[in-house]
Amino acid sequence: METRANYVLVGSIVLVVLAALVIFVLWLARTEFSRNIDVYYTYFNGSVAGLQGGSAVRYRGVPVGSVGAVEIDPTNIERIRVTLNLNPGTPIKVDSVASLEIAGITGGSYVEITGGTQSSPALTAPDDQIPVIASRNSTLMSLEEDAPKLIGKLIDLADRANNALSPENVKAISETIDNLRVLSANLRAVTPEVQDAVTNMNKVLGDLHTDLPRLSQTFEADGKAVRATVEELHKTTNEVETMLAENRGPLREFTGTGLYQLTALATQLRGLTDTLQHVADRLDQDPQRYFFGGGTHIGVDPNRGYGPKASAGAAQ
């Protein structure tokens, strides 16, 4: 009798627990169905492997909802339509972009929403239609699409490397390495001279660094002197121009008549100079004949000599 009572107690407890579980499930389901969600569409042209209903939707890394359905677009079989169930108030803008990303090493996928600026308007659709979020390829999808091109470039690069490493090129490279080795040895031999040259150059640079302020001051002083000379020359030029402007009339009259008279005077002076030179030459040759002449003059005996020799003959 006691054993039967225990069975009844255990059965009653189990029934109560089951009833409570059913009530909780019904309450949770009612809560989920009564909760408002924002529904959006997005379309992907590539593969959406790893994405399924219930996958996470993140807005710049923050969970904002889940994927509702993943299906082929009824209007275009070349793309996949993904339904996004987002939390109310999620800031989806007209410039927001959805992309398919890989969730770590698990291989699962999720939808990442990026973009969207504060000044952009909210994304809406007319006539109670579901708004569509623009999409783009994920980094993995871009790599997958570019992989054939990359492989082709790698093959081309390998072919070029094989051509570059032909026996002739290998021989040329070996000769170049030998030449470099010889050049290195020669450079090592002239290292002391190079060091001396570097030392001398450092000394010259040091002297130049020391003398540079003095040279700068000298150049500055010379520049000031040149500037002053130019200013003085400019001033003198202005004065000459002013003088020419003031005496333009007299200068014009001088060049018109004065130069002609001056030329005539110079000609006459040249003639007078020639005459005086002729007289001076005659005085040097025979001053007596020049002053007394060659004929008979009153009071002068032409047969009589003059000078010291004539005086001696008279005395005899």
Dist CA 57 CA 114 (whole Å): 11
Provide the 10 A C-beta neighbour count for residue 65.
21
Q: What is the pLDDT of residue 173?
A: 80
Least confident of 149-153, 255-259, 294-298: 294-298
Q: Which helix (H) or strand (E) holds 39?
A: strand 38-44
Q: How many angstroms separate the Cα of 27 from the Cα of each of 13, 31, 35, 184?
A: 21, 6, 12, 87
Highest mean pLDDT among 9-18, 58-67, 282-291: 58-67
Q: What is the pLDDT of residue 315?
A: 40
Q: Cα–chain-centroid distance for residue 269?
A: 78
pLDDT in tens, 157-181: 877 777 776 777 777 788 888 888 8
What DSSP assignment string belongs to 46-67? S--TT--TT-EEEETTEEEEEE
Q: Which helix (H) or strand (E) holds 96?
A: strand 96-102
The pLDDT-based confidence of 16 (bands split at 50, 70, 90) is: confident
Q: Domain ranges for the chain, please list them.
A: 34-137, 249-292
What proportion of the chain, given as a percentage, has pLDDT over 90? 21
The pLDDT mean for the chain works out to 76
Dist CA 280 CA 215 (whole Å): 66
pLDDT exceeds 60 at position 32 = no
Instruction: Look up residue 115 and give its DSSP letter.
Output: E
Q: What is the pLDDT of residue 299?
A: 43
Dist CA 67 CA 57 (whole Å): 6
pLDDT in tens, 203-219: 777 776 776 677 667 76
